[in-house]
């Protein structure tokens, strides 16, 4: 069985990247990291796992299409056939969506369709909802609007803070995302 070659896109600390790497998912090699923040901690994690990294700043390109063209070229050179978004804080544009149709997935810290976009954890705490959770979904042209692959629910505590909820959500993410990726790789 040949292995899928995948890239992770991340913008921050890389805790989901690290969870995926530690899982050593059968049938899947993470062969590339794309990061749009030159000072992101995920870059150190990629170096630790010996994963080649492409770091860019969107402001260095005249348009989204321009930097996505570069990304597509880099990904294709690396033989990447799947993309896993893990805290990547940019909308995916048409160029990447066309090349990697139904092969880009994202993890989001809410029970979509509730609280799409940035600061979903803060939105949930502010709204005082009774439950929230984690969603893994396919990426489409909308904001966290692609078809849902899996969700896991968390009850909100009466004294929930952004910090306590973030820790609980991350525990779920670190277990759920590798499991979903493994299930998808078994079907691929």
Catalytic residue among 103, 108, 168, 174: 108
Domains of the chain: 4-187 (3.40.50.170)
What is the distance between the alpha carbons of residues 106 and 143, in angstroms, rounded to a whole number?
A: 11
Band (186; pLDDT cuts 50, 70, 90) = confident
Whole-prediction pTM: 0.95
Range list of β-strands (E), the chain: 4-10, 28-35, 53-55, 82-85, 104-108, 131-138, 148-155
Active site residue 108: yes
Q: What are the pLDDT digits (tens) for 84-115?
A: 999 999 999 999 999 999 999 999 999 999 99
Q: Is 150 exposed, middle or buried (0-12, 13-18, 19+ CB in 10 A)?
A: middle
Token pair for 11: 């913008």
């Amino acid at each position: 069985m040949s292995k899928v070659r995948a890239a992770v896109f991340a913008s921050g600390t890389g805790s989901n990247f690290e969870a995926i790497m530690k899982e050593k998912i059968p049938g899947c090699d993470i062969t590339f990291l794309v990061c749009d923040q030159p000072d992101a901690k995920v870059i150190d994690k990629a170096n630790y796992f010996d994963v080649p990294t492409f770091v860019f700043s969107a402001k260095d390109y005249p348009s989204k299409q321009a930097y996505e063209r570069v990304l597509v070229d880099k990904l294709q050179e690396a033989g990447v056939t799947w993309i896993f978004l893990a805290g990547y804080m940019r909308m995916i544009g048409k160029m990447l969506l066309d090349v990697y149709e139904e092969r880009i997935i994202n993890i989001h810290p809410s029970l979509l369709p509730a609280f799409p976009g940035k600061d979903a954890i803060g939105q949930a705490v502010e709204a005082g909802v009774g439950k929230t959770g984690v969603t893994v979904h396919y990426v489409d042209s909308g904001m966290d609007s692609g078809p849902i692959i899996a969700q896991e629910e968390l009850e909100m505590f009466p004294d929930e803070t952004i910090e306590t909820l973030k820790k609980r959500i991350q525990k779920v993410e670190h277990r759920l995302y590798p499991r979903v990726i493994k299930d998808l790789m078994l079907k691929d």
